[in-house]
Protein backbone atom coordinates (compact mmCIF):
# COMPACT_ATOMS: atom_id res chain seq x y z
CA UNK A 1 0.00 0.00 0.00
CA UNK A 2 1.16 3.52 -0.83
CA UNK A 3 -0.15 7.09 -1.05
CA UNK A 4 -0.82 9.05 -4.20
CA UNK A 5 -1.95 12.65 -3.72
CA UNK A 6 -4.57 12.47 -1.00
CA UNK A 7 -5.47 8.86 -1.83
CA UNK A 8 -4.45 5.50 -0.40
CA UNK A 9 -3.16 3.47 -3.34
CA UNK A 10 -2.82 -0.22 -4.11
CA UNK A 11 -1.26 -1.46 -7.37
CA UNK A 12 -2.14 -5.09 -8.13
CA UNK A 13 -0.50 -7.48 -10.60
CA UNK A 14 -3.84 -8.87 -11.70
CA UNK A 15 -7.49 -8.63 -10.75
CA UNK A 16 -10.83 -9.26 -12.42
CA UNK A 17 -11.95 -5.65 -12.27
CA UNK A 18 -10.35 -2.80 -10.34
CA UNK A 19 -13.89 -1.55 -9.61
CA UNK A 20 -14.55 -4.73 -7.58
CA UNK A 21 -11.14 -4.61 -5.92
CA UNK A 22 -11.64 -1.02 -4.74
CA UNK A 23 -15.15 -1.85 -3.54
CA UNK A 24 -13.70 -4.50 -1.21
CA UNK A 25 -10.85 -2.27 -0.10
CA UNK A 26 -12.85 0.86 0.72
CA UNK A 27 -15.09 -1.20 3.00
CA UNK A 28 -11.99 -2.13 4.99
CA UNK A 29 -10.20 1.22 5.06
CA UNK A 30 -13.22 3.58 4.96
CA UNK A 31 -11.13 6.29 3.23
CA UNK A 32 -10.75 7.64 -0.30
CA UNK A 33 -8.61 5.07 -2.07
CA UNK A 34 -7.52 3.93 -5.51
CA UNK A 35 -6.73 0.51 -6.93
CA UNK A 36 -4.76 0.04 -10.15
CA UNK A 37 -3.81 -3.24 -11.79
CA UNK A 38 -1.35 -4.33 -14.47
CA UNK A 39 -3.88 -6.83 -15.77
CA UNK A 40 -7.67 -7.01 -15.63
CA UNK A 41 -9.22 -10.33 -16.52
CA UNK A 42 -12.85 -9.17 -16.57
CA UNK A 43 -12.79 -5.42 -17.07
CA UNK A 44 -16.27 -4.05 -17.60
CA UNK A 45 -17.67 -0.99 -19.33
CA UNK A 46 -20.90 0.95 -19.30
CA UNK A 47 -24.24 -0.64 -20.25
CA UNK A 48 -23.05 -4.19 -19.49
CA UNK A 49 -20.26 -4.14 -22.05
CA UNK A 50 -16.80 -5.50 -21.36
CA UNK A 51 -13.68 -3.33 -21.39
CA UNK A 52 -10.87 -4.81 -23.46
CA UNK A 53 -7.93 -4.64 -21.04
CA UNK A 54 -4.66 -4.89 -22.91
CA UNK A 55 -1.51 -5.03 -20.72
CA UNK A 56 0.39 -1.74 -20.56
CA UNK A 57 -2.82 0.28 -20.41
CA UNK A 58 -4.08 2.01 -17.29
CA UNK A 59 -6.92 0.50 -15.28
CA UNK A 60 -7.72 2.54 -12.16
CA UNK A 61 -10.67 2.72 -9.81
CA UNK A 62 -11.20 5.42 -7.20
CA UNK A 63 -13.57 5.15 -4.24
CA UNK A 64 -14.67 8.32 -2.46
CA UNK A 65 -17.64 9.65 -0.51
CA UNK A 66 -19.97 12.02 -2.42
CA UNK A 67 -23.74 12.59 -2.41
CA UNK A 68 -25.71 10.36 -4.79
CA UNK A 69 -27.25 13.34 -6.58
CA UNK A 70 -23.80 14.64 -7.61
CA UNK A 71 -23.19 11.86 -10.10
CA UNK A 72 -23.79 14.06 -13.18
CA UNK A 73 -21.28 16.62 -11.90
CA UNK A 74 -18.74 13.93 -11.02
CA UNK A 75 -19.10 12.50 -14.53
CA UNK A 76 -18.29 15.92 -16.03
CA UNK A 77 -15.36 16.42 -13.65
CA UNK A 78 -13.90 12.99 -14.43
CA UNK A 79 -14.12 13.41 -18.23
CA UNK A 80 -12.42 16.81 -17.98
CA UNK A 81 -9.66 15.42 -15.76
CA UNK A 82 -8.95 12.64 -18.27
CA UNK A 83 -8.98 15.11 -21.17
CA UNK A 84 -6.46 17.35 -19.38
CA UNK A 85 -4.32 14.31 -18.55
CA UNK A 86 -4.21 13.17 -22.17
CA UNK A 87 -3.49 16.76 -23.27
CA UNK A 88 -0.33 16.80 -21.09
CA UNK A 89 1.06 13.84 -23.01
CA UNK A 90 -0.35 14.72 -26.45
CA UNK A 91 -0.65 18.52 -26.67
CA UNK A 92 -1.26 18.47 -30.43
CA UNK A 93 -4.02 15.86 -30.55
CA UNK A 94 -7.60 16.87 -31.25
CA UNK A 95 -9.22 16.04 -27.90
CA UNK A 96 -12.92 16.01 -27.13
CA UNK A 97 -15.19 14.90 -24.31
CA UNK A 98 -18.20 12.92 -25.46
CA UNK A 99 -21.13 12.91 -23.09
CA UNK A 100 -21.24 11.65 -20.44
CA UNK A 101 -17.50 11.13 -20.01
CA UNK A 102 -15.71 9.40 -22.88
CA UNK A 103 -12.57 11.08 -24.14
CA UNK A 104 -11.84 11.05 -27.86
CA UNK A 105 -8.44 11.71 -29.37
CA UNK A 106 -8.21 12.34 -33.12
CA UNK A 107 -11.67 10.80 -33.44
CA UNK A 108 -10.99 7.55 -31.54
CA UNK A 109 -12.01 6.58 -28.03
CA UNK A 110 -8.93 6.72 -25.79
CA UNK A 111 -10.67 6.41 -22.43
CA UNK A 112 -13.88 5.23 -20.81
CA UNK A 113 -15.28 5.78 -17.34
CA UNK A 114 -17.67 3.64 -15.34
CA UNK A 115 -19.33 5.00 -12.19
CA UNK A 116 -20.78 2.50 -9.74
CA UNK A 117 -22.02 2.67 -6.18
CA UNK A 118 -19.78 0.94 -3.62
CA UNK A 119 -21.19 -1.42 -0.99
CA UNK A 120 -20.37 1.15 1.73
CA UNK A 121 -22.13 3.99 -0.16
CA UNK A 122 -18.97 5.58 -1.64
CA UNK A 123 -18.82 6.34 -5.35
CA UNK A 124 -16.56 4.13 -7.43
CA UNK A 125 -15.07 5.80 -10.48
CA UNK A 126 -13.39 3.24 -12.76
CA UNK A 127 -11.29 4.62 -15.58
CA UNK A 128 -9.54 2.91 -18.44
CA UNK A 129 -6.99 4.87 -20.48
CA UNK A 130 -5.36 3.29 -23.51
CA UNK A 131 -1.70 4.04 -22.92
CA UNK A 132 0.43 1.48 -24.76
CA UNK A 133 -2.09 0.04 -27.20
CA UNK A 134 -5.70 0.18 -28.29
CA UNK A 135 -8.08 -2.49 -29.50
CA UNK A 136 -8.89 -2.29 -33.22
CA UNK A 137 -12.42 -1.28 -32.27
CA UNK A 138 -14.12 -0.92 -28.91
CA UNK A 139 -16.78 -3.42 -27.83
CA UNK A 140 -19.40 -0.85 -28.86
CA UNK A 141 -17.81 -0.72 -32.34
CA UNK A 142 -16.11 2.66 -31.93
CA UNK A 143 -12.75 3.57 -33.40
CA UNK A 144 -10.16 3.63 -30.63
CA UNK A 145 -6.91 5.44 -29.91
CA UNK A 146 -3.97 5.23 -27.47
CA UNK A 147 -1.30 7.61 -26.18
CA UNK A 148 1.30 5.49 -27.94
CA UNK A 149 -0.53 5.71 -31.27
CA UNK A 150 -0.54 9.49 -30.81
CA UNK A 151 3.24 9.41 -30.42
CA UNK A 152 3.49 9.70 -26.61
CA UNK A 153 5.82 7.18 -24.96
CA UNK A 154 4.17 7.29 -21.55
CA UNK A 155 3.95 4.52 -18.94
CA UNK A 156 0.71 3.76 -17.10
CA UNK A 157 1.97 4.94 -13.68
CA UNK A 158 3.07 8.32 -15.08
CA UNK A 159 -0.41 8.71 -16.52
CA UNK A 160 -1.94 7.78 -13.15
CA UNK A 161 0.13 10.48 -11.37
CA UNK A 162 -0.92 13.08 -13.94
CA UNK A 163 -4.58 12.08 -13.63
CA UNK A 164 -4.55 12.33 -9.82
CA UNK A 165 -3.06 15.84 -10.10
CA UNK A 166 -5.68 16.95 -12.62
CA UNK A 167 -8.54 15.42 -10.62
CA UNK A 168 -7.40 16.96 -7.33
CA UNK A 169 -7.05 20.40 -8.99
CA UNK A 170 -10.48 20.25 -10.60
CA UNK A 171 -12.05 18.98 -7.38
CA UNK A 172 -10.61 21.97 -5.49
CA UNK A 173 -11.96 24.32 -8.16
CA UNK A 174 -15.38 22.63 -7.92
CA UNK A 175 -15.40 22.86 -4.13
CA UNK A 176 -14.43 26.55 -4.14
CA UNK A 177 -16.36 27.91 -7.11
CA UNK A 178 -19.09 25.36 -7.84
CA UNK A 179 -20.01 23.41 -10.95
CA UNK A 180 -20.41 26.28 -13.45
CA UNK A 181 -16.68 26.68 -14.24
CA UNK A 182 -16.37 22.96 -14.93
CA UNK A 183 -19.52 22.97 -17.06
CA UNK A 184 -18.08 25.75 -19.22
CA UNK A 185 -14.67 24.07 -19.55
CA UNK A 186 -16.40 20.82 -20.49
CA UNK A 187 -18.54 22.56 -23.14
CA UNK A 188 -15.42 24.24 -24.61
CA UNK A 189 -14.12 20.75 -25.39
CA UNK A 190 -17.39 18.99 -26.18
CA UNK A 191 -17.83 16.62 -29.09
CA UNK A 192 -20.54 17.74 -31.54
CA UNK A 193 -21.95 20.61 -29.48
CA UNK A 194 -24.60 22.42 -31.56
CA UNK A 195 -24.76 19.55 -34.04
CA UNK A 196 -27.24 16.76 -34.63
CA UNK A 197 -26.46 13.77 -32.43
CA UNK A 198 -28.03 10.40 -31.72
CA UNK A 199 -28.38 9.30 -28.09
CA UNK A 200 -28.84 5.60 -27.48
CA UNK A 201 -30.79 4.55 -24.40
CA UNK A 202 -30.98 0.75 -24.29
CA UNK A 203 -32.47 -0.18 -27.64
CA UNK A 204 -34.08 3.22 -28.18
CA UNK A 205 -32.42 6.06 -30.06
CA UNK A 206 -33.26 9.76 -29.79
CA UNK A 207 -32.04 12.22 -32.36
CA UNK A 208 -31.69 15.97 -31.81
CA UNK A 209 -29.34 18.92 -31.62
CA UNK A 210 -26.86 18.83 -28.77
CA UNK A 211 -27.91 22.07 -27.04
CA UNK A 212 -25.68 21.96 -23.95
CA UNK A 213 -25.37 20.66 -20.41
CA UNK A 214 -27.79 21.35 -17.59
CA UNK A 215 -26.52 22.64 -14.24
CA UNK A 216 -26.37 19.07 -12.91
CA UNK A 217 -24.39 17.64 -15.86
CA UNK A 218 -27.40 16.21 -17.75
CA UNK A 219 -27.38 16.47 -21.55
CA UNK A 220 -29.80 18.93 -23.18
CA UNK A 221 -31.17 17.77 -26.49
CA UNK A 222 -33.20 19.98 -28.79
CA UNK A 223 -35.81 17.81 -30.47
CA UNK A 224 -37.88 19.93 -32.87
CA UNK A 225 -37.54 23.01 -30.67
CA UNK A 226 -38.35 21.17 -27.44
CA UNK A 227 -35.49 20.78 -24.95
CA UNK A 228 -35.26 17.28 -23.52
CA UNK A 229 -33.13 16.58 -20.47
CA UNK A 230 -31.18 13.32 -20.83
CA UNK A 231 -29.87 11.77 -17.62
CA UNK A 232 -28.45 8.51 -18.98
CA UNK A 233 -27.44 7.14 -22.36
CA UNK A 234 -24.64 7.05 -24.91
CA UNK A 235 -23.97 9.68 -27.55
CA UNK A 236 -23.15 7.78 -30.72
CA UNK A 237 -19.86 8.45 -32.51
CA UNK A 238 -20.55 9.19 -36.13
CA UNK A 239 -17.26 7.99 -37.60
CA UNK A 240 -17.25 4.33 -36.49
C1 LIG B 1 -16.89 2.50 -20.86
O2 LIG B 1 -16.47 3.32 -21.67
O3 LIG B 1 -17.77 1.70 -21.16
C4 LIG B 1 -16.32 2.50 -19.46
C5 LIG B 1 -15.09 1.68 -19.36
C6 LIG B 1 -14.49 1.65 -17.97
C7 LIG B 1 -13.29 0.74 -17.88
C8 LIG B 1 -12.56 0.85 -16.57
S9 LIG B 1 -11.00 0.03 -16.58
C10 LIG B 1 -10.86 0.25 -14.86
C11 LIG B 1 -12.22 -0.02 -14.28
N12 LIG B 1 -12.42 -1.43 -14.06
C13 LIG B 1 -13.40 -1.92 -14.82
O14 LIG B 1 -13.78 -3.11 -14.81
N15 LIG B 1 -13.93 -0.95 -15.58
C16 LIG B 1 -13.29 0.32 -15.34
**Mind listing the pLDDT tens digit for each residue in 154-206?**
999 999 999 999 999 999 999 999 999 999 999 999 999 999 999 999 889 99
Please check the confidence at residue 141 and state whether its pLDDT lies above 90: no
Q: Are 70 and 129 in contact (CB under 8 A)?
A: no
Domains 2-188 and 196-235 share a fold: no
Probe target for ligand 1 pocket from 102, 110, 114, with the most ligand atoms within 8 Å of CB:
114
As a CATH number, domain 196-235 is 2.30.30.100
For residue 41, report the distance from its CA to the centre of ligand 1, in Å. Answer: 12
What is the C-alpha separation between 14 and 27, in angstroms, rounded? 20
| pLDDT tens per residue across span 10-51 | 999 999 999 999 999 999 999 999 999 999 999 999 988 999
Residue ranges per structural domain of the chain: 2-188, 196-235
The region that residue 102 occupies, defined by phi over 0 for left and psi between -120 and 50 for alpha, beta otherwise, is beta
Helices then strands, each counted (H, E), the chain: 4, 13
Please check the confidence at residue 147 and state whether its pLDDT lies above 80: yes
Whole-number average pLDDT of the chain:
95
What is the C-alpha separation between 234 and 192, in angstroms, rounded? 13
- State the architecture of 2-188 in CATH terms: 2-Layer Sandwich (3.30)
Q: With a threshold of 0.85, does the pTM exceed it? A: yes
Amino acid sequence: MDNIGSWLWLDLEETQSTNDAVDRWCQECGQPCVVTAKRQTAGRGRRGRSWISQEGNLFMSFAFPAPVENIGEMAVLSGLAVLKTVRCFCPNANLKVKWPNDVLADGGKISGILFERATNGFWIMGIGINVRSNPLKSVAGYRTMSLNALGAKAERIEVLHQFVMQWDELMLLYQHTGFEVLRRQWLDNAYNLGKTIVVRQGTAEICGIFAGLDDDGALLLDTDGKIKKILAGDVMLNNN
